[in-house]
Structure formats: structure tokens, C-alpha cells
């Protein structure tokens, strides 16, 4: 139902990723441009997804995957490019989730010990937890019984987090909201912030999510989007703004590191973030696992047959071993978010829906509509270049600043 998909969107976009957004979005932009960009990029993203939802059917043909839609309208090359962008987005996003879970576990240990284990140990624990969940809950449709508990714990940790942020903000009289750095670095950081806002609002998976809805799928998908961009956005934008208000330019890339306590709230928030991330990461990863299952499982047998269970185990073991290794070697959370939003999510979100509109409705659309969609295509192309340069610059900076397998 649209309520289930809407709930999945709300909980997934309010996962632990939001704990980095105060630092990645508000710190580089400041109050004025931060609020303006949050609203404008959020509205632009909502519109792009609303537009894309209209193209589940073209004529009598139904599209359940984004790459199928782009391949139908623009040929085989665009099919492969779309899948490459999606694969890259979801792969990088999963590495970020593994890093997030590791940071949450380390933060819990830090509450009880002055010398916690290295971050890499917690990253390995997180990768193992994600592996077991993906093995026992192999598909997106199998997640339906987990949505309500996930929504409850999501709301719980956000409420506790906001309470602590208000308390800390009131007691912190030395907040500094100045944007530091050279003019060039401010510009690059601003584009990085825009990338992070895009990540906070979209996944590049709308056709795949829409395929799970009953008819009328277009109307129901848009209802789910309304739920995400109202109730969901209030929560993740609220945490983003309140984190910056409470700590100013001293806000951490992992917000719980700033929290004053009490200890039990810090532990509870980090524990819920870890548990909730297990469910959220699976929603974003499901299309990759589905593609791997289609290729390597024996389709003529049940998924839980003996042979398929062995293959299912090996597929997920290999996948999470590789992702966990990369996350442990490259533990810089902001890099995952910015590069994710720049290189692949910008075209998936803004450029491709307008390209489909031009191809499908270009001959009959009014000239001002065609001009608008051509503007979207050109603008998103330029935005992709600018934000990708910014993200690569950040990665180079962090490689120079840190070393591989750093205890960041």
C-alpha cells in the first residue's frame, strides 16, 4: 500500500545519515543560505520525483526498474548508464551505512570506556549484522513486518535527540556561526552541502519502489511522496537545523559526539541509530541484491531451497566483506555523502526525468514546458560537474589529512 511505502520512505530517510547533515549542510552554508537551499533543493527534488512517478506506464508498457525506463526511451547505452549510476549510488551508500553503524557502536563503547576499540572493529561488527539481516530478509517485500517497529524506534531516537539538542543549545552561550576558510573553499564546500541536501531527499530508486504499489500506482506513489516530503522532511530537516543551532560551527560530522548527555540518552540514541540503520540500509541495497540473486540463483527453484540458500549466503558474504573492507579503509563519512549526491544522484534525480519527458511528450508539449525541461537537463548537467569537483576535492583533502584504516 502507499502507506507502507510512505512509511518506508519516512523511516529510511530519517536513518542515522541525518546525524551528519548539520555539519555537511548548515556549517558550509550558514543560516541564510542553509535554510534557502534546504527549502529550494527539497522542493526541486520533490517535483522531480513527482514527475518521474508519472512514467511507470508509457502506452501499455509498465516499467518496474529505472534502467528499463531509460533503456526503452533512449536505448541500450542509457540502460547501462542508468544501472551504473544506481549501482554506484547504492554501493557507496551502503559503505556509508556500514561506517555509520560502526561510529554508533564506538560511541556506545566510548560512554563506558576512555579507551574504546578502534573504529574498524565496530565497522566489522556492523558489516556482519547487515549481512545476517540481508540473508534472513532477502527481498524488499519481506521487510513489511519490520516497517512499523522501524518507524517507532526512528521517532523515539529523534525525539530524544531533539530534547538533548534543545538543552545543549540553551546552555551553550558561546556558539559561533561564522563560516571559516578561503573564498574558494567556501564555494566548494557550498556545492558539497547541496550534494548532501540531495542525498537527504532522494534515493534514485523511485521506479523500483513504485513497482511494489497496487493500482493506481502513479497516484499512490505520489501519496507516498507527499508523506515523505511533509512528515519525513520535518524530522530530518528539523534535526539538521537544530544540530547547527545547538553547536554552531563546532557541530560534528557525527552529531552524537557533541551531545552532553545524560549517558543513558547518548547510549540509547546510538543503539537505536545502529539498529534502525540495519533496516534502512537494506531498503537502499535491495535492487543490487535482487540483480545479483537474479543472475546467480536458480530461478526454477524456491529461494529457500538448499542450493539457493548456499548461493544466497555466498552472494551476501562476498558483497558485505568487500563493502566492509572499503568502509574500514576509508572511514570519512562526509566523503560518502557528498560524492554520492554529486556524481550519480544529480542526474538520476533531475536530469533523467526531464529527458524522459522530452522523449515521450516533447512533440505534443507546449513550448514553455519543453524549455523548462531543457533547462532542467542543462542545469543538472552543470550541477553534476560542480558538485563532483567539490566532492573529489574533499576526498583528496582527507586522503592527505588521514591515512587508510584511520581510527577516525
277-321 per-position pLDDT tens digit = 888 888 888 888 888 888 887 777 776 777 888 888 999 999 999
The residue whose grid cell reads 545519515 is 17
Give the percent of the chain with pLDDT over 70: 95
Beta-carbon contacts of 163 under 8 Å, excluding residues fewer than 6 positions away, are 265
Q: Whole-angstrom Cα distance, residue 64 to residue 59?
A: 14
pLDDT at 338: 65
Q: Is 336 domain-assigned?
A: no
Q: Is 55 domain-assigned?
A: yes
Helices (H) and strands (E) in the chain, counts: 17, 2
- What would the grid cell of residue 13 be? 530517510
pTM tops 0.85, yes or no: yes
Q: Whole-angstrom Cα distance, residue 361 to residue 158?
A: 43
Q: Is 300 domain-assigned?
A: yes
Beta-carbon contacts of 61 under 8 Å, excluding residues fewer than 6 positions away, are 72
pLDDT at 5: 84
Domain that holds residue 165: 2-186+204-330
Contact 63, 71 (CB under 8 A): no
Bond before 216 cis per omega within 30 degrees? yes
Q: Whole-angstrom Cα distance, residue 408 to residue 102?
A: 11
Count of structural domains, the chain: 1
Contact 274, 101 (CB under 8 A): yes
Q: Which stretches of 259-366 are DSSP H helices?
A: 263-296, 306-329, 333-339, 345-346, 352-361
Q: Is 45 domain-assigned?
A: yes
For 281-290, the pLDDT digits (tens) are: 888 888 888 8
The residue whose grid cell reads 546510538 is 270
What is the per-residue DSSP string for 365-391?
S-HHHHHHHHHHHHHHHHHHHHHHHHH
pLDDT > 90? residue 77: yes
Q: Whole-angstrom Cα distance, residue 253 to residue 158?
A: 17
Residue 57 forms beta bridges with which residues?
A: 62
Q: Is 362 domain-assigned?
A: no
Q: CB-hemisphere CA count at 13 Å for 272?
A: 23
pLDDT at 154: 87
Q: Is 128 domain-assigned?
A: yes
Looking at residue 53, which CATH number applies to its domain? 1.20.1740.10
Residue 340 vs residue 156, higher pLDDT: 156
Q: Is 360 domain-assigned?
A: no
pLDDT at 407: 63
pLDDT > 80? residue 340: no
Tell the burial category of 121 from Cβ atoms under 10 Å away from its Cβ (0-12, 13-18, 19+). middle
For 143-195, the pLDDT digits (tens) are: 777 878 888 888 888 999 999 999 999 988 888 888 887 888 888 889 888 98
The Cα-based distances of 274 to 23, 128, 312, 392 in angstroms read 20, 12, 24, 28
Q: Binning pLDDT at 50, 70 and 90, where does residue 335 land? A: low
Q: Whole-angstrom Cα distance, residue 133 to residue 4?
A: 20
Q: Whole-angstrom Cα distance, residue 159 to residue 161?
A: 5
Contact 101, 129 (CB under 8 A): yes
Q: Whole-angstrom Cα distance, residue 36 to residue 42?
A: 10
Q: Is 138 domain-assigned?
A: yes
For residue 120, what is the enclosing H or E element? helix 119-136
Tell the burial category of 301 from Cβ atoms under 10 Å away from its Cβ (0-12, 13-18, 19+). exposed
Amino acid at each position: 500500500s502507499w502507506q507502507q511505502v510512505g512509511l518506508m520512505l519516512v523511516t529510511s530517510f530519517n536513518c542515522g545519515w541525518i546525524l551528519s547533515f548539520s555539519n555537511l549542510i548548515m556549517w558550509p552554508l550558514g543560516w541564510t543560505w542553509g535554510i534557502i537551499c534546504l527549502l529550494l533543493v527539497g522542493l526541486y527534488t520533490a517535483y522531480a520525483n513527482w514527475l518521474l512517478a508519472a512514467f511507470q506506464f508509457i502506452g501499455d508498457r509498465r516499467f518496474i526498474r529505472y534502467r528499463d525506463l531509460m533503456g526503452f526511451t533512449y536505448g541500450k547505452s542509457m540502460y547501462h548508464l542508468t544501472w551504473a549510476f544506481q549501482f554506484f549510488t547504492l554501493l557507496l551508500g551502503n559503505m556509508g551505512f556500514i561506517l555509520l553503524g560502526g561510529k554508533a557502536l564506538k560511541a556506545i563503547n566510548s560512554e563506558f570506556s576512555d579507551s574504546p576499540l578502534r573504529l574498524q572493529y565496530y565497522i566489522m561488527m556492523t558489516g556482519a549484522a547487515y549481512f545476517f539481516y540481508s540473508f534472513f530478509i532477502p527481498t524488499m517485500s519481506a521487510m513489511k513486518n519490520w516497517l512499523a517497529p522501524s518507524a517507532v524506534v526512528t521517532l523515539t531516537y529523534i525525539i530524544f535527540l531533539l530534547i538533548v539538542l534543545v538543552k545543549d543549545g540553551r546552555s551553550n552561550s558561546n556558539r559561533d556561526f561564522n563560516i571559516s576558510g578561503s573564498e574558494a573553499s567556501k564555494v566548494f564546500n557550498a556545492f558539497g552541502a547541496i550534494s548532501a541536501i540531495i542525498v537527504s531527499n532522494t534515493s534514485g530508486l523511485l521506479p523500483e519502489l513504485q513497482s511494489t504499489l497496487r493500482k493506481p500506482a502513479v497516484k499512490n506513489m505520489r501519496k507516498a511522496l507527499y508523506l515523505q516530503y511533509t512528515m519525513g522532511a520535518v524530522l530530518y530537516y528539523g534535526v539538521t537545523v537544530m544540530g547547527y543551532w545547538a553547536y554552531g560551527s563546532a557541530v560534528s560530522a557525527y552529531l552524537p559526539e557533541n551531545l552532553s548527555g545524560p549517558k543513558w540518552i547518548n547510549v540509547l540514541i546510538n543503539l537505536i541509530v545502529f539498529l534502525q540503520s540495519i533496516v534502512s540500509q537494506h531498503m537502499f541495497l535491495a535492487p543490487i541484491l535482487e540483480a545479483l540473486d537474479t543472475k546467480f540463483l536458480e530461478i526454477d527453484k524456491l529461494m529457500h531451497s538448499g542450493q539457493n540458500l548456499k548461493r544466497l549466503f555466498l552472494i551476501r558474504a562476498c558483497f558485505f566483506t568487500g563493502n566492509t573492507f572499503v568502509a574500514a579503509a576509508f572511514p570519512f563519512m562526509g566523503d560518502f555523502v557528498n560524492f554520492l549526491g554529486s556524481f550519480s544522484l544529480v542526474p538520476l534525480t533531475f536530469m533523467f526525468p526531464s529527458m524522459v519527458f522530452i522523449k515521450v511528450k516533447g512533440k505534443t508539449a507546449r513550448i514553455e514546458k519543453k524549455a523548462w525541461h531543457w533547462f532542467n537537463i542543462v542545469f543538472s548537467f552543470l550541477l553534476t560537474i560542480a558538485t563532483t569537483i567539490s566532492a573529489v576535492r574533499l576526498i583528496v583533502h582527507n586522503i592527505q589529512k588521514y591515512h587508510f584504516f584511520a581510527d577516525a
